[in-house]
Chains A and B, each alone.
Chain A
Amino acid sequence: MENRLAQRLPQMQHVNVKLLLRNPEQVDLEPLIPVFHDWIRDQVGEGLLLDVADYRHVDAGPGVVLIGHEGNYSVDNTDNRLGVRYNRKAALDGSNQDRLRQAARAALIACQRLEADPRLGEKLRFNGQEIEIFINDRLLAPNCDATREVFDSDFKTFSEKLFRESEYSMSYGSDPRGLFGTSVKAARSFTVTELLEMLG
C-alpha cells in the first residue's frame, strides 16, 4: 500500500503564488472590497468568481479574499508579509512548469489589475523582487527534505525563466507543519508587466 502511495507522491498541484508588496504599511485593504465585488460582477479574473471574505480584523491573516471556484485571489498578510496571492484550488493538467506558470500568471494579472485600479490610490504595488510559492496540500507535498529534493529543480527552472536577467536567491520554510514552499528573491527589481512578458 505504501508503495502505491509513494509512487504517486509528491505531486505539484494546488500551487499558490504570492507577490510581496512594497510599503505594506501604506496599503489600505478596505477599498479592495468593492474592487473584488466588481470583479465578481464582471467575472474578470481567471475562473468563476463567487464571493468576498473580509478578514481584516485578524492579525497576520488572509486579509481580503476573493473566493473563486477554481482558485482564490487575496491580498494576504500571512506571516505579516503582505502580498497578492493566488491559491489554485482545482486540479490542473500539464507539467509542473505549466502549473507554476498558471498560478504565477493569475497572481501577476490580479496584481496588475489592482495596481491600475484608482480606488486603491496607487499604493498597492508589487515590490518587484519577492515571490512566494506554496503547494497547498500536505499529502501531495509534505514540508520535508524529500519534497524539496523532488521540486527544487522545478522551482529553479521556473525562477530562471521568471527572473531571466537576474540572479535570485531561494529559501525554504523550516516548520514541518507549514505548507511546503519557497521564497524567491530576485537581485534586481521587475515590474509586473515585465514578469508577465517573461512568463510568455
Chain B
Amino acid sequence: MKVSNELWAEQLSGKLPEPLAREIDIFETEVTLRKQGKLDERLFAETRLRRGIYGQRYDNGQRHDGRKVQEIAYPSGELTKGPNTMWDAPGMQRIKIPGGGLNTEQLETMADLAEEYSDGIAHVTTRQDFQLHYVHIDDTPSLMRRLAAAGITTREACGNSVRNVTACPYAGVCPDEVFDVTPYSKALSKFLLGHPDCQNFGRKFKPAFSGCSQHACGLTSMHDLGMIAVTRTENGKEKRGFETYVGGGLGAVPYQAKLFDTFVPPEELLPLAQAIARVFAARGEKKNRSRARIKFLIQDLGIEKFKELVLEERKNLRPDPRWTEYVKDAEQFREAPLRPGGKRPLLGSESFQRWMKFNTRPQKQEGYVVVTAALPLGDITANQLRALADIARRFTKETIRTTVEQNIVLRWVSQGDLSELHKALDAAGLGAPGAESIVDVAACPGTDTCKLGISSSRGLAAELRNRLAEKSFQLDESVQNLHIKISGCFNSCGQHHVADLGFYGVSRKMSGYAVPHFQVVLGGEWDHNGGSYGLPVIAIPSKNIPEVVTRLTGLYAANKKNGEKFKDFIKRVGKVELKKILEDLARPPANPSDRTFFSDWGDPREYSLSDMGTGECAGEVVSAVEFDLAAAERELFEAQVKWESGQVEQAGTTAYRSMLRAAKAIVKLESANVTDDPGQIVREFRARYYDTQKFFDPFAGGKFANYLFAAYEKSNEPYTPDSTRYLIDEAQLFIDAAHSCYNRVGTPASA
C-alpha cells in the first residue's frame, strides 16, 4: 500500500542486524511469490504467522452489517494470504517485546509505525507485546525493517513457536523479589529465537519469569514454562536458581502449571528449556490442534514421565557454548537511575495523591519508585508514545517496560521528581490514577478485531471503565483493588480465569434472537502468579454485565469479613447463592422492542441477525431445545458446586450428564425420538452433527464435540479432582457450543 515500501530496504541498508535483514528479505520474497501464485496459501499463512502477522475480523470477505451478511469486494479479488483470508483485508501485526523492556527509540519507532501503517494506536497486550491493527500485508516488510533497525523483531510472535518470553516488569527493583530475573529472561529469549529445536511444535509455547512466588506480575502458573527465582545455600554460598513449572496455560480449559524442579541453576536454564522443547516437538500432538499444547502432553504422560523424558533428552544434548555465554552476557545487564533518589512528596492535589497511591510503587532501592502509565484498554496513541519517550529521557535512563496488565511502567524514578513527572504524564493524557485497580480493566481485542471474538470485550471494558472511573475512589478500599479481566471468547486472551471478576464471551438465543452474553467467571486468583482459576457461574447478557459488577462488588463490600479476599468471599458465600443473586439478570428484557439489548457494547449493529428467518420476532415462545440447554447448564452448575465441596465422583458424573443432555437437545432438533441412552445420544450426535460438521465451531472445528466423545469413552473410569476440573470446563464449552450450533441451525424439526 505505501509508496515508500520499495524504498525502505535501501534506506535502511546496512542498519539492520544481518540475520534480521535476511529474514525480512526472505519474507518479502515470499510475499511476492504468493502474489504470483507460486507459494501455496497454507504455507504462506504459516510463514506470515511466524512473523507475527495475524488475520483480523472480516478477512474472509464477509461482514454482517446488522441486517445481512455482505460480501466485501477487496480489490485484489481472489488472492488470499491464507485459507479463506483475503489478501487486501487489514490484519494485525504482533511485535515481541522480550520481558517488556523498551528504550525511547523503540517507543518512537512504535509511534511512527502506528501512525503510518495502522490507525494511530499501538496496543499493549496481556503478554507484554505490542499489536498494531488494520495493517496491510504489503506494508509488513517495511514495518519489520523499521522495527529491526530499532532492535525489535516480530519473528515468532505468532504461529507454532516460542512466543514472547515475558518477565515481571518490576524485576530488579521489586522489594519482594528473590533476585532480578531480567538477565535470564533475555538469555532464554535470545537462545530460543529461531532455534532449530523449536521449529516443529504442534502449537505455541509461552515462557515466563517471576522474581517471587507471591505476586501476580509474572503469571508463571499459566505458562507452558514458568521460572520463579529462588536461592539456596551451597557450601556456605548463596546460589541462584529457578523453581521451574511446566504445562500451565489458560485457553478454553485452563491448566495450572506443574512443578518440574525445585531448583534449576542458571547454567542449566537454557539446556533444560532446549530439552523440554525437543520433547514437546517430538512427542506433542501435531494433528489435533485442540490437544497440541504441552499441557496436554504432560497430562497424558504424567509429570514424572515427562520429567524423565526431558532429563534423558538433556543428557543427550550436545553441549552448546551459548548455554553459558548467553547467561553470562545477560548477567552483565545493569540499570541505573538518571537522577539522585529523593523523598516522597507529602503534599499535592487530591488527584496527585490518588495517582501516587495507585500508580507508583516503591523500589527496593531507597528514594526510587516505579511509575505506571495506565493505558485504557492497553491503547496508546502515537503522540503519547513520543511524549512518554520524552518523559523517560527527562526522568530516567530509559528504563521502560510493558506489563501484563496492558500498561507501561517507568522504573528508577526519583521520588523527588514525582510531582513534575505526574504533570508531564498528565499533559500527555497519561496521568490518570487507578493503575492495577478495578478501573484498570484488561481485555483482549474481542469482536472489535479478532476473528474468534464472540462478544465485545473491549466495548464492555470501556463501559465498565467509564462507570467505575466516576465512582471508584468512593468505593470500599477492598473493592478498589479488585481485578476485572474480559475475554471475547473462551480462549482466555483476556486472562479471565485469574481475575477476581472474569468474563468471557458467549452467545445465547433470547426471544428468537441471538444475544451477546458473557459468562461470569468467579473464584480466580491474580496473586501467586495467577494462583488459581475461576469457574463460570452463569451466562448474562452483555448489557447486564455492569449490573453484575455493581451487585457483586456491593455484596463483597457489605459482607466481607476482616481482611477477607474476594476469592475467599466467593468461596464462603458459595456459587449457589451467587447464582441466585444474578439469575434475574440472565432473563430476556421485559420489553423486547428495546433493541439495544440485542446489540453489543460499542457496536450498534443488531447482533448476528443471520438466523432471524423472516425477520419477524419469534415471540416469547421458548423452544424445547432452549429449555433442554438451560437444564444442561443447571446440571453443570450443580457439578461445579459438588466439585467445590469435594464430591469429585458425583461432580464428574453430573458434568458428563450435562454434556449428554446438551447433546440430546441438539439431536432432538433432527430426531425427536432419541432416548436417554448415552450410547445412542453420542452415536446420533456424531452422525448428525459431527460427521456433517454442523456442530463445528467456525474456528475451533470439532474441538468441543470431541470433548463429548472423550467424556463418553472415559465415563466408566473413576474421576480424579484434576480430571473433573477439566471435565467441568469442557462441559461448559460443549454447552456453549451447543447454544451456538442451535443459533446457527435454527428451528426444530416438526416432531
A residues touching B (Cβ–Cβ < 8 Å)? Answer: 1, 4-5, 8-9, 11, 13-14, 33-34, 37, 40-41, 48, 50-62, 65, 67, 69, 72, 74, 76, 78-79, 89-91, 136-140, 175, 177-179
Contacts and interface: CB of A to CB of B under 8 A. Distances in A.
A76 B382 CA distance: 13
5 tightest CB-CB pairs across the interface, nearest first? Answer: A59-B429, A41-B65, A34-B604, A62-B120, A139-B4
B429 A60 contact: yes
A60 B604 contact: no
Interface in B40-80: 57-58, 63, 65-67, 70, 72-75
Interface string B173-192: 00000000000000000000
A60 B67 CA distance: 33
Given A4-B10, A62-B119, A177-B108, A90 B1 contact: yes
A41 B70 CA distance: 8
B90 A137 contact: no
Contacts, number: 140
A136 B2 CA distance: 10
A91 B3 contact: yes
A177 B3 CA distance: 20
B121 A8 contact: no
Residue with the highest number of chain A CB atoms closer than 10 Å, among B75, B119, B458, B602: B119
A62 B121 contact: yes
Residue with the highest number of chain B CB atoms closer than 10 Å, among A13, A59, A78: A59
Residue with the highest number of chain B CB atoms closer than 10 Å, among A4, A55, A65: A55
A57 B465 contact: yes
Nearest to A33: B604
Chain B at the A interface: SS class: mixed
Contact of A53 (B88, B133, B376): B133
A65 B449 CA distance: 13
B92 interface: no
Interface in B585-633: 602-605
Sort chain B's interface into a size bin. Answer: 35 or more
Residue with the highest number of chain B CB atoms closer than 10 Å, among A8, A138, A139: A139
A140 B363 CA distance: 44
A54 B70 CA distance: 21
Contacts of B465: 57
B11 A139 contact: yes
Given A51-B134, A139-B8, A41 B67 contact: yes
Contact of A40 (B2, B65, B90): B65
Contacts of B119: 53, 55, 62, 65, 67, 72, 74
Nearest to B605: A37
B598 to A, nearest CB: 14
B520 interface: no
Contacts of A13: 2-4
7 contacts: A5-B7, A37-B65, A41-B65, A72-B119, A74-B119, A140-B7, A177-B386
Interface in B436-464: 448-449, 458-459, 462
Nearest to A58: B379
A91 B70 CA distance: 26
Given A5-B7, A136-B115, A79 B383 contact: yes
A46 B120 CA distance: 21
A58 to B, nearest CB: 5
A14 B383 contact: no
Contacts of A79: 383
A57 B439 CA distance: 13
Nearest to A11: B3
B116 interface: yes
Interface in B1-35: 1-4, 7-8, 10-11, 13
Contact of B4 (A4, A57, A62, A140): A140
Contacts of A60: 381, 383-384, 429
Contacts of B605: 37
